[in-house]
Amino acid sequence: MDAITAPGGSFDGGEGPGAAAARLTGRTVTGERPVSARLTEVTLDDGRAVMVKRGEPAAVRAEAAGLRWLAAAGAVGIAPVRGADRSWLVTDLVAEGPPGAGAAARFGRELAALHASGAPAFGAAPPGGPEEAYIGDAPMRNARSADWPRWYAEHRVLPYLRRAVDAGTVTPAEATEVERVCERLPGLAGPPEPPARLHGDLWNGNVLWGADGAVRLIDPAAHGGHRETDLAMLRLFGCPHLETVLDAYREAAPLGPGWSARVGVHQLFPLLVHTVLFGRGYAGRALAVARDALSG
């Protein structure tokens, strides 16, 4: 999910991406290549290429703060922020190459180190980031809690379930199955875990395999959470060399007993976000993992 794209409106007063890049980096722009409605590749006069993204102020602020917070851990590669304001975010362009097993193993170890760098609480926003943030086009509230099961239910599962029911994408009868999972979360959550520093939107599209053999992450919805949520997101939409990533992760930071049986519980959040954003097809997947959790 594109963590900076927000629906509707103009946030930049008419300024274009090249002008924004020049202003925020202090460099002259020598070329522009539109990638999407809100994303432009810009070449600077020093030969660097940057990605320039336009978005709603809270989304820009959240993503910039998230990238900086993840980078501050010094654990996994993060696309560096070169400038940001209310409407624009400028990051380095990552030159991509083919995924490799060696890079996957390094990524697994680096992701374990990122998570271990911690967060002040479950739901903690990155320093300087807003409480009312985004994951893709969907609002995401970063409210703090010391209790992961209750926090996950109240701030990551139920808000999107309610929106899906209100939109008619999930029926009230179907919603009761997800609600039952939330009621049972204290028993389904596994051993207690300290708050981890999460990327928060760790699907394959946000994992860039660099031409230099290093993995770099983009587009976070960063917050303090349960480390298994990032791992479940990697599995949800596929990731090259995933088992190598997970084996290296577990070697560096063993997961709690029964972790593989909890993958669906952690996938409920992104599946319900996708249900809200993209419709009924994802509702079926969310209900399937809820039923699996209840029958386990």
Burial class (CB in 10 A: 0-12, 13-18, 19+), 100: middle
Q: Check: CB of residue 20 under 8 Å from CB of residue 84.
A: no
Residues of the chain with pLDDT under 50: 2-10
Pair (88, 114) in one structural domain? no
Pair (47, 184) in one structural domain? no
Please report whether residue 39 resides in a domain.
yes
CA 148 to chain centre: 18
Please report whether residue 45 resides in a domain.
yes
Pair (284, 155) in one structural domain? yes
Domain that holds residue 67: 17-92
Pair (86, 148) in one structural domain? no
Domain's final residue, options 71, 92, 113: 92
Q: Is 292 a catalytic residue?
A: no
Provide the pLDDT for residue 12.
53
Annotate 33-88 with DSSP letters as a single string.
EE-SSSEEEEEETTS-EEEEEE--HHHHHHHHHHHHHHHHTTSSEEPPEEEE-SSE
Please report whether residue 1 resides in a domain.
no
Annotate 1-39 with DSSP letters as a single string.
--TT--SSS--STT--HHHHHHHHH---EEEEEE-SSSE
CATH of the domain at 31: 3.30.200.20
What is the C-alpha separation between 62 and 124, in angstroms, rounded? 12
Name the active-site residue from 85, 92, 147, 201.
201
Q: Parallel, antiparallel, or unpaired for β 49-54 and 39-44? A: antiparallel
Q: Check: CB of residue 20 under 8 Å from CB of residue 41.
A: no
What is the C-alpha separation between 16 and 178, in angstroms, rounded? 44
Pair (137, 276) in one structural domain? yes
Please report whether residue 8 resides in a domain.
no
Pair (164, 139) in one structural domain? yes
What is the C-alpha separation between 178 and 97, in angstroms, rounded? 40
Provide the pLDDT for residue 10.
43
CATH of the domain at 143: 3.90.1200.10
Distance (Å) of CA 257 to CA 75, 125, 190, 250, 261 = 25, 28, 7, 12, 9
What is the C-alpha separation between 6 and 20, in angstroms, rounded? 18
Provide the pLDDT for residue 136.
87
Domain's final residue, options 29, 59, 92: 92
Please report whether residue 276 resides in a domain.
yes
Pair (204, 226) in one structural domain? yes
pTM metric for this prediction: 0.93
Pair (33, 123) in one structural domain? no
Distance (Å) of CA 62 to CA 67, 90, 142, 234 = 9, 14, 10, 21
Residue 125, Ramachandran bin (φ over 0: left; ψ between -120 and 50: alpha; else beta) = beta
**Number of folded domains in the chain?**
2
Pair (67, 197) in one structural domain? no
Provide the pLDDT for residue 178.
98
Q: What is the DSSP letter of 195?
A: P
Distance (Å) of CA 34 to CA 21, 88, 135, 289 = 13, 15, 23, 38
Provide the pLDDT for residue 278.
95
